[in-house]
Chain A
């Protein structure tokens, strides 16, 4: 279902649901993923990982492994080229390289310590067992409370942390910054009601189906070719080149399909390891595939943490002051999502006085990575729970209160930046008018209890660099090359924008994703940026192609270019009846100067602020605590849905992941700091059988920064479900849970305790 708030031009291609270009390959199994890459002479790599969450490496003896039959090479961090001179390495690069092969210390269970290449995978695994590592075991830091406690073990002994502009050593708080608007602390005195609550969240994983993998071939010409499952092949190229001290022109990163990423495949783990093994194995190509345990233990999850929210309101129903204290788990190295969390926390509301303190906290868990709207689900769980509680206390309508306080054009976000045109109020009104909000909960079972919750969420969406090349083929079709990894159907969404601009059917556009040597730099697919930014590049390339084709028409018609118009796929003479479509032109084009091509590279700023709302009905078995979502509606301002089925699919997927985060998912950490639930049997993600059909209402308030109004879709929908589920549990049980996951044990506790 789509609601339009503005009359727009009718599109021919945009807004339709064509057969996706990569559809047949994917459903028939022909599509090539990282694990499918086969090269002549391919051998296998395996990674030895730390059994301890925090330990000093005393020694590594690889001699027995090296002597094993079938083994080609064994490497440790000393084999990484930039480690030859550590004093000269940029600190961020040093942290990244230490994460792929530990240097002196291991900082989480699963931290890579060494790697082996061998003739086959089993031999490589067996050889890993022969590597003797002596550790001095250290006390693990398991959460933010332990990390900031007095006399806490320090993870990074060389840290120079920035705390509000001051350099601090000997700390696990890697960064502390503050946003301040007005005078929040003072203005709470003018609030008629103030609510302050603390929330705790556990680390969760993106749970992509395809594990991390890499194949590397460092050939005799000193050229490195890489294939890996990634959201950004240029990031793989650049980071691997950096680790190996190679110029980027010596590294080619090849595109392979990706079986899910959700932000988790924006990091680089295996390609540099496979590359070094390849070189040390006589230039044989080496493949490494993580098993699921390694994925959980060794690849970046989304941070857990502690969030304290304080909101003050007046009797007139206005939020006059808000303060949020955010401590997120960075994992073993700095870099949690606190910059985004600090903006997203109160971004839905027009609050004149805001104070946000954000802390990036080191703990002995894998270095955190992005996960759909990184940082926003955590803080929105906290803020939207408090908003819900305030509305109940003050007996205010939960949507009307939000509309009265909603951000709109001209509102300042918590970081002080002004919004341009946004569609949050329209989204709230769509939720208010929805069938779901205006229907009663379907209470089928008298033995169960039922509740409904609503919550909102924000994500800014991204821009960044993208390149698209177009080639007019002799038969009138268009070859399209683009550099974005296709994780959500973007081949088609970009092709549709090109097709719309050229006035052609999308079936005439043939998209490809070449390697990094054959297309201009394109940033990682993430931040909901690709349909926006690479689509923008496609639109620009198509317009350039039109201008180039006009020159050729001018030659053929012997008329000045200025006298030629283009509309809906046809060239027209302004002064005669001459008319020609692109297909006809293609057949005549060679004598006019050879092939017609165009290229466009863009470097765009943020895509345009997306807002979403979740309405959740759930059913609880009061005897077991088992909770089932029985109805969920996601309402979202998408700007413009280029491919509505894809956009709806993104929204449904995000909602389901958010519901799993709310109800079941967590890194269950033992006393020794190790993760106990490293399989999908024990790390419970929702399946199709657990979920009702997710209803989607797309609101289209066009983004003024994009030719077709695109805002970006993929991240917003994961934000509202945590609080929507929590608010529904409160509605059902009468008690609120202030931590995730809201699992059966906690639900029974709140039912028992009233």
Chain B
């Protein structure tokens, strides 16, 4: 199961857990399953069938470039964070 670290304001929806373990072979499935566990969370993460603009999904050590198609292995950490640009 993937370990999902959610944005601060979504922690409230997940009983203030540091992370939640969610089944799914890719990011799309994991978010869909998260929504089943904690209704209302998906709308903060996904918009028009892609990761919400302004958000980055960090899978393991770095931001995925595959979006919701990103495959996930067991115990992969997934963080949803404000996306960062460089200079």
Residues on A lying within 8 angstroms of B by beta carbon are 92, 164-166, 175, 177-180, 262-264, 266, 337-340, 342-343, 369-374, 415-420, 459-465, 526-529, 603-606, 705, 715
Contact = CB atoms under 8 A, between A and B. Distances in A.
Contact of B86 (A417, A465, A527, A705): A527
Q: Identify the 5 closest CB pairs spanning chains A and B, nearest first.
A: A527-B86, A263-B87, A165-B9, A605-B62, A370-B87
A179 B86 contact: no
Contacts of A464: 65
Given A164-B8, A180-B8, A603-B65, A342 B86 contact: no
A165 B7 contact: yes
A165 B61 contact: no
Contacts of B64: 605
28 contacts: A165-B44, A166-B9, A177-B8, A177-B9, A177-B82, A178-B9, A180-B11, A264-B87, A266-B85, A339-B81, A339-B83, A340-B86, A342-B82, A372-B87, A373-B87, A417-B77, A417-B81, A418-B60, A418-B61, A418-B77, A419-B61, A460-B84, A528-B86, A603-B65, A605-B61, A605-B62, A606-B63, A715-B86
A5 B10 CA distance: 42
Contacts of B82: 175, 177, 338-339, 342
Nearest to A374: B87
Contacts of A419: 61
A159 to B, nearest CB: 15
A605 B82 CA distance: 15
B53 interface: yes
A529 B11 CA distance: 33
Given A165-B10, A603-B65, A415 B87 contact: no
Which of B62, B63, B66 has the most chain A CB atoms inside 10 A of its CB?
B62
Contacts of A460: 84
A255 B86 CA distance: 21
Interface of B: 5, 7-11, 44, 53, 58, 60-66, 77, 79, 81-87
A379 to B, nearest CB: 13
Contacts of A372: 87
A605 B65 contact: yes
A538 B77 CA distance: 30
Nearest to B63: A605
A367 to B, nearest CB: 13
A93 to B, nearest CB: 11
Contacts of A165: 7-10, 44
Nearest to B87: A263
Contacts of A415: 58, 79, 81
A526 B44 CA distance: 28
Given A165-B44, A416-B79, A266 B8 contact: no
Contact of B5 (A340, A416, A605): A416
B10 A371 contact: no
Nearest to B64: A605
A262 B61 contact: no
Given A262-B87, A606-B63, 20 more contacts: A164-B8, A164-B9, A165-B7, A165-B10, A175-B82, A180-B11, A266-B87, A340-B84, A340-B86, A370-B85, A415-B79, A416-B79, A417-B61, A463-B62, A526-B86, A526-B87, A528-B86, A605-B62, A605-B65, A606-B61
Contacts of B79: 415-417
Contacts of B83: 339
Contacts of A606: 61-63
Nearest to B62: A605
A177 B86 contact: no
Contacts of B9: 164-166, 177-178
A697 to B, nearest CB: 23
Nearest to B5: A416
Nearest to A604: B65
A459 B85 CA distance: 11
Nearest to B66: A603
B80 to A, nearest CB: 10
A488 to B, nearest CB: 12
Nearest to B58: A417
A416 B59 CA distance: 12
Contacts of B8: 164-165, 177-180
A73 B85 CA distance: 36
A342 B81 CA distance: 11
A603 B67 CA distance: 11
Contact of A370 (B7, B11, B65, B86): B86
Contacts of A416: 5, 79
A420 B86 contact: no
A495 to B, nearest CB: 23
Contacts of B53: 92
A95 B11 CA distance: 31
Contacts of A92: 53
Nearest to B44: A165
Identify which of B7, B9, B85, B86 gathers the most chain A CB atoms within 10 Å of its CB.
B86
Contacts of B63: 463, 605-606
Contacts of B77: 417-418
Given A164-B9, A177-B8, A415-B79, A463 B84 contact: no
Nearest to A375: B84
B34 to A, nearest CB: 15
Contacts of A339: 81-84
A372 B11 CA distance: 33
A721 to B, nearest CB: 15
B86 to A, nearest CB: 2
A263 B85 CA distance: 10
B15 to A, nearest CB: 15
A606 B79 CA distance: 14
A540 to B, nearest CB: 15
